[in-house]
Chains A and B, each alone.
Chain A
Amino acid sequence: MLARARTISPVTIVMGAMAVALLITLVLSVGIGAVKISPLQVISIFGARFGIEPLTAFEIQQAAVLEAIRTPRVLLGALLGGALATAGAALQGLYRNPLADPGLLGISSGASLFAAAAVVLNINWFGIFTLPIAAFIGSLLALSIVYNLSKSQGHTRMTTLLLAGIAINAMCGALTGFFTYISTDEQLRSITFWQLGSLGGASWTSLAASSPFLLITIFGIPFFAKALNALLLGENNARFLGIHVEHAKRALITLVALGVGAGVAVAGMIGFVGLVIPHLVRLSLGPDHRHLIPISALLGATLLVLADLLSRTIVQPAELPIGIVTASVGSPFFLYLLLRDRKNVAL
């Protein structure tokens, strides 16, 4: 018999270890940067907020940097990493394709197009929120076009969804290219930076604006773990297993759009997290979504915080866009996985 009932399953241990790793990463990375803050000081500064006697001395400047700049940035990185990885896991399950990515549905490119348009057309209706709001509208618009195109006779055709996503991606790419072409040098710089992705703009305000969406994605998608498992057998078989397939698909696509759209809106384009993280978890723990999703969320959060740490420390005092970091670390790693497994696993 499988000894599952009494013993703690390996998955639970991995999940616990991942949670601890995330916590350590959070505490360490808020302390690293131009202004150094030791882990003890970090705890003391937060403790002081709640009237707890500080464990060690710290300077006012350290507290200011920690509270106003580092903490919202690191938290945003963790939430974003979690949401992107969760969204990737959900899409890969929906498409029954381990290579599916949030970028596939046209969400990211729709967001990118609207952001570029806002910059070049000098639209400034919402002050500093103009770019995020434009990106958010663009992502929702792109997704609803793609989704409606792929609906026929009440069913969502996943192949059409994929192809419509590719078409929308190409169209958005062309239009973004056009806006880039007519932009001034200054606008070009701003578009490019946004496309490369950065958590540099993180503040308590942007965290407050985006975290509800990111949290809905992270905590909503796990409810569909069993449906996603059944969907891996094909939509008909999932239906025969009692799953309301249309309902699950619609809910999942909406959850993905919310998380990815909000993410692109506050941090620009950050690739590879949604693709690589679930893939990595699947290779080590199997494709069961009941643990794939939460562990992907934890790993995504940890790795994106680390990537952001790298991006803001590697070329100090300047910052390397985080999209460059995730892509340059993620793509060779992904290639390595493909080459390693090309013999036994048919993707």
Chain B
Amino acid sequence: MTTLLSAQDVSFRIENRDLVHKVNLNLRAGEIVAVIGRNGAGKTTLLRLLTGDLKPSQGHVSVFGQPIETHSLKELAKNRAVLSQSTPLHFDFRVFEVVLLGRTPHQHSHRESQTDIQIAKHCLTQVGLAGFENRQYLTLSGGEQQRVQLARALAQITAPDQATDTESQASLLFLDEPTSSLDISHQHKILQVARARVDQSQHGHALGVFAILHDINLAAQYADRILVLSQGQRLAFGPSAEVLNSDLLSEAFQHPITVIDHPTAAGKLVVT
């Protein structure tokens, strides 16, 4: 499997304090890596380092096999999308217009092409909002708005149908606490869509997802590997089943945590 994203000894220092300290990680095509940790553990700083938003004080970040600084903003935007916790959109676009904004880096002219429209339509269906095209974005619920934003992010990194396998490119999706203000069903919908996208990605174009998740159980359920951050340092990084153990999580979160086998599904369940 190709490595889509890697960080070598990445540190970020501000006012003599390392917000992120010598973190190593990699993300392969076809997997979801989740980052968990307490507030202030450096999760968001790490994400900003990995997206090129911040420059590391030490260490290197590579994206698609090349140092991140060698990619232009526009080239990156064609294969990498970021979904934030909340999007400050206060203008009354129609839902379909919001999704089409994801096609911005692919548009050479002022107008969207038929391909852009097809892809946007496809992604809106994927997030379960087919038929919402002409709804006003601001009238939707928070959960629906976030799914529209996910569709926008997916539209950004979706290759057109007619693209052959040789043309197909690897893509990256960053999720920055995408579910923290949503109810349970919306939380699962967002991650199910990401999971489905990643699982399809073995054939054709390869997708890797890097997600900051607030809820350890969501990470346990959807991530292939989990990175545990504590005080800016990597406490553990590995397959979910290995990382999720009571002692490690109790240390990372500074709170007693019990990990048991999930009673109805495969995987672990975290109880606090």
A residues adjacent to B (C-beta < 8 A): 1-2, 4-5, 96-98, 225-226, 229-230, 232-234, 236-237, 239-244, 282, 286-288, 290, 344-347
Contact B89 A4 (CB under 8 A): no
Contact A232 B107 (CB under 8 A): no
Contact B92 A240 (CB under 8 A): no
Closest to A238 in B: B104
Partner of A240, one of B51, B97, B117: B51
Closest to B139 in A: A344
Contacts of B107 in A (CB 8 A): 226
Closest to B152 in A: A233
Contact A237 B87 (CB under 8 A): yes
Contacts of B111 in A (CB 8 A): 290
B81 at the A/B interface (Cβ < 8 Å)? yes
- Nearest Cβ in chain A — how far from B85, in angstroms? 11
- For B75, B77, B81, B138, the residue with the greatest tally of chain A CB atoms inside 10 Å of its CB is B77
Contact B91 A232 (CB under 8 A): yes
Please report whether the interface of chain A is mostly helix, strand, loop or mixed according to DSSP: loop
A232 to B92, CA, bound (A): 10
- For B82, B91, B101, the residue with the greatest tally of chain A CB atoms inside 10 Å of its CB is B91
Closest to A98 in B: B91
Contact A286 B117 (CB under 8 A): no
A184 to B54, CA, bound (A): 57
Contacts of B138 in A (CB 8 A): 344-346
Contacts of B77 in A (CB 8 A): 240-242
Partner of A239, one of B73, B97, B101, B110: B73
Contacts of A240 in B (CB 8 A): 51, 77, 80-82
Contact B87 A241 (CB under 8 A): no
Contact B110 A236 (CB under 8 A): no
Partner of B101, one of A233, A282, A344: A233
Contact A225 B110 (CB under 8 A): yes
Closest to A345 in B: B92
Closest to A283 in B: B92
Contacts of B51 in A (CB 8 A): 240
Contacts of A282 in B (CB 8 A): 91-92
Closest to B113 in A: A5
Contact B89 A241 (CB under 8 A): no
B53 at the A/B interface (Cβ < 8 Å)? yes
Contact A234 B88 (CB under 8 A): yes
Contact A244 B87 (CB under 8 A): no
Closest to B105 in A: A242
Top 6 nearest A-B pairs by Cβ distance? A242-B77, A242-B105, A287-B91, A242-B74, A240-B82, A241-B104
Partner of A346, one of B82, B90, B93, B94: B90
